[in-house]
Chains A and B, each alone.
Chain A
Amino acid sequence: MSEFDDALTRAAQDAAERGRLPGAADAVRRGRRRTLRARGGVAVAGVAAVGGALGVTAALGGPAGAAPGGGTVGAAHADDGLLQPELWPGYDQAHWKPKKLVQPNLVNLSQIYYGPCPVSPDPNGGPSVRNVVFSGGEFEGRLDAFQEVFTFSDSARAATVLAGLRTAGSTKACRGGTGADAASPGVNTEAGVSWLWRQTAADGARVVTHSYAVQVGDRVTLLRISWTSTGTGTGEGTGTGADSTVLEHLQAALSR
């Protein structure tokens, strides 16, 4: 073993000894919970405690009845509203193979949309949602993507969410983020809005997350494509030239 190998091994062992892993039982519990959630069989705990202003229901397979978050259940939709992955930006590179999940979930919208960049007057990030239709793109190392469809209790609530999202591009720097984090506008059209969020991670990797949001009726869909550069690529994605078309595609999918 070389001196470098030995030093690296000692550093790793040192960290492993100082590390605090929760144990196998925690991994088993976590895995079981996720499996149950994916099957749609678990009631969301603690929803009432968070108390969202918005009632949300799953577009597909979600439980019927009043939303614990305080809202009422929106209309059932025959179609999931997801865009064909062939129309997602970056398909030529990533060949996305999304997997669809219906997740009873408790999600803070502004955290989803902005990460550490809350734009809501509410420092905790604003409304909560209850159920999410989630479609994860296949991870490709430098590219990952997913689309979510949120169904709210009525169109007005969904419109309020999109109106908030239309301000995303004006957020020049993220409160709580680093100076390297910044959002910038994409396009703002009748169909919806797009924006980019550039980050520089602690390890120097650059991440550009390109987000698209569209509202139709009581549903809002969000598509995010993240381009990661580790220093050898540009990591800038496809630019915003095609954003209007992407928004129209999303609108069409959500209108089905």
Chain B
Amino acid sequence: MGSAPAEADFEAFYAASSRRLLGHVYAMTGDLAEAEDALQEAYARAWQRWGRVAAYEDPEGWVRTVAYRITISAWRRTTSRLLAHRRGARPEEVPGASPDRLALIAALRAIPADQRRVIVLHHLVGLSVAEIRAETGVPEGTVKSRLARGRRALAEHLSEYADESQEAVTNV
């Protein structure tokens, strides 16, 4: 990888997708700095194999999946926390974020990561259950179960969406 056309193609892909994917990964992790680090690393890996990734049906999904895996890698978490400690910053500090949005992200962080991932893929990314199955590799039944449990768990933290979540649970 390294030709000028390939680099231009990659830059266009980055420009078109990076903001959107950052939002996705942030919602999955609840930590903006960690999301930034993981996403940038995922883009670097995408560039390393851009010839193949560009040909995929959904290169964004590939980058999102890699970034997510990076965020839940124990080793990555260890390194990130060390860096965060050195920076003297708490990861949950997000200057400028409104309280209601922080509350939403905090509620997402409070539920198990596998449930959070499918919640984000379904409600934020807009994937169907079948598409989530394709991206996560887990059976559709498991996806539905995680969606239902995740919504139920979220409802306990977010009373304003409780009715809506309960309705969604019954619709899965």
**Residues of chain A at the chain B interface (Cβ within 8 Å):** 2-5, 7-28, 30-32, 34-35, 111, 115-116, 139, 141, 144, 146, 176-177, 199, 201-205, 207, 209, 224, 226, 228, 230-232
- Pick from A16, A21, A144, A230: contact of B40, CB under 8 Å: A21
CB distance from B172 to the nearest CB of A (A): 14
CB distance from A138 to the nearest CB of B (A): 11
CB distance from A71 to the nearest CB of B (A): 25
- Pick from B79, B81, B97, B168: contact of A14, CB under 8 Å: B97
How many B residues have CB within 8 A of the partner chain?
A: 68
Instruction: Tell me the bound Cα distance from A2 to B124 in angstroms.
Output: 11
Q: Are the CB atoms of A15 and B94 closer together than 8 Å? A: yes
CB distance from A153 to the nearest CB of B (A): 27
12 sampled A-B residue pairs with Cβ under 8 A: A3-B160, A5-B123, A11-B104, A12-B23, A12-B124, A13-B23, A19-B32, A21-B40, A27-B10, A28-B44, A30-B47, A205-B72
Chain A residues with Cβ below 8 Å from B158 are 4
Instruction: Tell me the bound Cα distance from A82 to B49 in angstroms.
Output: 26
Q: Is B74 an interface residue (CB 8 A)?
A: yes
Q: Is B5 an interface residue (CB 8 A)?
A: no
Instruction: Tell me the bound Cα distance from A4 to B136 in angstroms.
Output: 22
CB distance from A7 to the nearest CB of B (A): 6
* Closest A residue by C-beta to B161: A4
Instruction: Tell me the bound Cα distance from A42 to B154 in angstroms.
Output: 49
Q: Are the CB atoms of A19 and B98 closer together than 8 Å? A: no
Q: Are the CB atoms of A14 and B74 closer together than 8 Å? A: no
Chain B residues with Cβ below 8 Å from A139 are 69, 73
Instruction: Tell me the bound Cα distance from A136 to B96 in angstroms.
Output: 39
Instruction: Tell me the bound Cα distance from A15 to B24 in angstroms.
Output: 10
Instruction: Tell me the bound Cα distance from A202 to B105 in angstroms.
Output: 13
Q: Are the CB atoms of A30 and B40 closer together than 8 Å? A: yes
Q: Are the CB atoms of B82 and A15 closer together than 8 Å? A: no
Chain A residues with Cβ below 8 Å from B85 are 116, 176-177
- Pick from A35, A176, A230: contact of B48, CB under 8 Å: A35
Instruction: Tell me the bound Cα distance from A224 to B74 in angstroms.
Output: 11
Given A5-B123, A19-B22, A230-B113, decide whether A14 and B101 contact each other with a Cβ distance below 8 A: yes
Q: Are the CB atoms of A2 and B26 closer together than 8 Å? A: no
User: Which of B11-19, B54-62, B127-135 forms part of the interface with chain A?
Assistant: B11-19
